Amino acid sequence: MFYLQESENDLSIDNDPYSFSEAINGDNSDKWLDSMKDELKSMAHNDARDHVELLEGYKRVGSKWDFKTKRDFQGNIERYKSRLVAKAFT
């Protein structure tokens, strides 16, 4: 098993939400909700998901939201980025 570490070069000054509930209950909830809607629209436009019947004996793969504030080289906020990702198996 491996763990991802934040890069030493990441000068992030943001306290990005860790969970969906943090995103929708935080100060920038409207911006995070808009970015989640954009992600879902993008997934639909690109046919990035399929709904299939789950076969007996198989487990469903969970998902979670990943949030990141994107900044330009001067540190100004460019956008709020949300990504729906599959949870890893443990």
Which pLDDT tens digit goes with each residue over 32-88? 999 999 999 999 999 988 888 999 998 888 899 999 999 999 989 999 999 999 887
Q: Report phi then psi at 33, rounded to 5.
A: -65, -40
Q: Are 32 and 23 in contact (CB under 8 A)?
A: yes
Q: Diameter of the chain by CA atoms?
A: 53
Spell 35-74 as b/e; 16+ CB within 10 A means b.
bbeebeeeeeeeeeeeeeeeeeeeeeeeeebebebeeeee
Q: Looking at residue 59, what is its pLDDT? A: 87
